[in-house]
Structure 1
């Protein structure tokens, strides 16, 4: 079963990696009416939350640049950014490197209990690394759908 989970992660992240490569940098910061964030924020948020759900909640070292928290953590938004956010190419590189770190460190650890239960903003409580890792697929897919909707709105 573990092999299937990691294959699924490769599929989900592969979709994200292909998508970020197709978005022109000049469209990354547009926020259409009805949205709070832009495409850049959503891709960066995927990277930041994945890092938190896989490494942070397990008290492991988070290796994304520290600035990602200020730009992309839950509750942040581009209108509050101070400084220059990473480019799409930089975020893409981080997503790819993150995938490899997960492949290198997570196998055999999905049943590992978290140092303390983690409750997300939706009120869901997780007790194991596998639970947070599996939830991250759902989270990534939600934001990929938002990216698609923003991209469609930029074309109109």
Structure 2
């Protein structure tokens, strides 16, 4: 494994570690509250992080995604808890998915950062990815953005 690849995987561990600590610290009983000014809940944001990372690494590469079947319906882009008909997974279940992704990502992406995707993938924000590495690295930004949203929702709930 190259030094750069190891550095990127270490960064993944750091970013995901922040997410994993947060899902343990935040009380699950407040996870479905959607404060005024927000369209999604804390539970939705954690599930969305797990689903999108799975899609960015495995799904758009043409590989089998290893998240529960209902994650796309619950946590895909454009979804919201107000539309849920399924019972959402517990924090414990989402935490397990978040933790389990790390070793699978390392194994899959080893020496594949420059591998071309089967076809370029453009996300809802208009960003186009051509390689597995581009998509994976965008996941850090995406995860951090949703962690900030989780913090803002938590502060909003806690201040009341």
Q: TM-score, length-normalised on structure 1?
A: 0.98
2:69 paired with 1:66: yes
SS of the residue 1:82 aligns to: coil
Q: Which residue of 2 aligns with 1:19?
A: 22
- 1:6 corresponds, among 9, 17, 25, to 9
1:23 & 1:110 partners in 2: Cα distance?
34
SS of the residue 1:111 aligns to: coil
SS of the residue 2:95 aligns to: helix
2:156 & 2:19 partners in 1: Cα distance?
19
Structure 2: any 5+ residue segments left out of the alignment? none
Matched residues, number: 156
2:141 paired with 1:155: no
The Cα offsets for residues 31-53 of structure 1, whole Å up to 9 and x where unpaired, read as 00000000000000000000000
Q: Which residue of 2 aligns with 1:56?
A: 59
1:119 & 1:89 partners in 2: Cα distance?
31
2:8 paired with 1:33: no
Give the deviation of 1:18 after TM superposition.
0.5
Give the deviation of 1:103 after TM superposition.
1.7
Give the deviation of 1:3 after TM superposition.
1.0
1:63 & 1:70 partners in 2: Cα distance?
15
The Cα offsets for residues 71-125 of structure 1, whole Å up to 9 and x where unpaired, read as 0000000000002100111100010011121122211111110000000111111
Task: State the Cα RMSD in Å.
Answer: 0.6
Q: TM-score, length-normalised on structure 2?
A: 0.96
Structure 1: any 5+ residue segments left out of the alignment? none
